[in-house]
Chain A
């Protein structure tokens, strides 16, 4: 019976208990698969040891792409392809190109970053997520521990660590 469960779940009620629990569990050598929460818990990514997200870089690069495209488009159309004198201005009237360049910077930065976010987080309408505990989108924080990556540790020991760390429930969960 023991090893056919793939995951052990620690269920926590409180975000502060959870933060300390993550530290304790990791401190006792147990590798945490992931923690599932109904809302963002500040500081959780630090205690789990996650690296900072690189999404700001993606946003910056897409923003740069946006402003380059916008300026190239406007100069090409207004100065090179079909130059016309409008209101006595230069063909390439830079101040007039600022609003559209700004809007396209924002547009591409936002869409590019969100696109990267959806792809890296595997968010898509046909995705079939593994839900460990249905209450993890309601009011419980669920810490999932993969037994395959903790094969050196005793099952009872892991459960004991979880209970000691403040988990209100310790459950087994396996997926086909």
Chain B
């Protein structure tokens, strides 16, 4: 029934058997963590601890601790928000869109990518929550709850409110999707374990027994969740871009924003997946599961989305000129040659030029080059959001209000806090959860490698 292709490379190398897959993945959960893991975890936790002082300062003193002024009222916090949400796009894209397209190479990377998505969305959500100043009463400002102001409801005409719904739906659906995938793997760990671990993973596996009927329903659920998550992924960054696109600020008021933001999100998301996976495969010795072939395919996605982003930058310039709107034209000339020219050119170099290097096969199959470029791409994507947000605001309609934005130490600290949180959470995930979806890898093992069985 199954056909082994002589053209395509096997997805899993090293002649792994089904039991090898179980063993190679469960080993990380069952063994004592290595010194390297402790070092990495403590470093991440240290960054989180240092950053938490800035978070406390924001909550205690208010957002006056940030570098915002009355001209630039949106800057660092929303840049970080959009950046983290963008990173949070790869996981669900890999598991949902690639499932619908029957791209079987997703099976080795989807688990970790989805975990990354969930942590990145938590980091992103932190910024709008803390910018409310008193987040503990913020639920009344953000959610349609009956309240004591008569019944003054939230404003459903506002893209900021759409964002509340989009991000929270995206987070909860991604979490459910991820957990459904984890259930069979928790059962595998449960059946290998004894004592306390058996009880904990037994509860986490919800009593999974691998019955054919349950698998049939599971497949049905996965497929529909993928079908639901695919438009959801596209909607989330579309709605994030509406925060800007529905305004009348030159440089923001463009219809190109939704597709351009979605492409940018996938671009930065894949870059972050690569950064993490290259480290994980090395530390956990998973080179047979996450092969050079996987890395190359992800790099190809980066070329495509990077090129879309590049075309979007050029199109924006063209439309500014072609529209004949002087304010729009000024906004773009100012981006490239104004006081923030260095941010603009960092963005152009990192996002437009660097991914084009992946056209060279030697570079896109090189682990060192991929790792370096994945970080460059994420730096570039951070600058993209910074450029769009700050350069459009800092030249107000009144030249007397023109100003500059400089981040304060608290701004930097809050950003560090999210980094600390992200990596702390990821390292905990990598220790206690199966980092590779064993069941899905096993289901493609036979069709993709000739020596699945001894």
**Contact residues of A with B, CB < 8 Å?**
13-16, 19, 34-42, 44-45, 48, 50, 53, 55-56, 59, 73-74, 77-78, 81-82, 86-87, 89, 93, 96-97, 99-100, 102-104, 106-107, 109-111, 113-114, 117-118, 120-131, 134-139
Contact = CB atoms under 8 A, between A and B. Distances in A.
B211 A35 contact: yes
Given A19-B1, A134-B192, 12 more contacts: A14-B453, A38-B438, A55-B217, A55-B221, A86-B155, A106-B228, A109-B228, A113-B221, A114-B225, A123-B208, A126-B203, A136-B191
Contact of A100 (B1, B165, B231): B165
15 contacts: A13-B453, A35-B211, A39-B215, A39-B440, A50-B216, A87-B157, A100-B165, A102-B231, A103-B166, A103-B232, A106-B229, A109-B224, A109-B228, A111-B173, A118-B206
B157 A41 contact: no
Scoring B217, B219, B232 by chain A CB atoms within 10 A of each residue's CB, the highest score goes to B217
Given A50-B212, A114-B176, A127-B206, A82 B221 contact: no
Given A82-B152, A118-B206, A123-B183, A39 B443 contact: yes
Contacts of A111: 172-173, 176
A82 B151 contact: yes
A110 B188 contact: no
Scoring B169, B177, B183 by chain A CB atoms within 10 A of each residue's CB, the highest score goes to B169
Given A82-B151, A120-B217, A138-B192, A40 B439 contact: yes
Given A106-B231, A126-B203, A130-B209, A138 B191 contact: yes
Given A77-B153, A110-B228, A37 B191 contact: no
B215 A41 contact: yes
Interface stretch (B14-22, B70-78, B130-138): B14-22
A62 to B, nearest CB: 10
B406 to A, nearest CB: 33
A103 B165 contact: yes
A36 B188 CA distance: 12
Interface in B161-185: 161-162, 165-166, 169, 172-173, 176-177, 180, 183-184
B5 interface: no
A37 B210 contact: yes
Interface in B202-260: 203-204, 206-221, 224-225, 228-229, 231-232, 235, 239, 242
- Interface SS of chain B: helix
Contacts of B22: 38, 138-139
Contacts of B183: 123
A81 B213 CA distance: 48
B212 A137 contact: no
A121 B217 contact: yes
A130 B218 CA distance: 19
Contacts of A35: 211-212
Nearest to B452: A14
Contacts of A117: 180, 217-218, 221
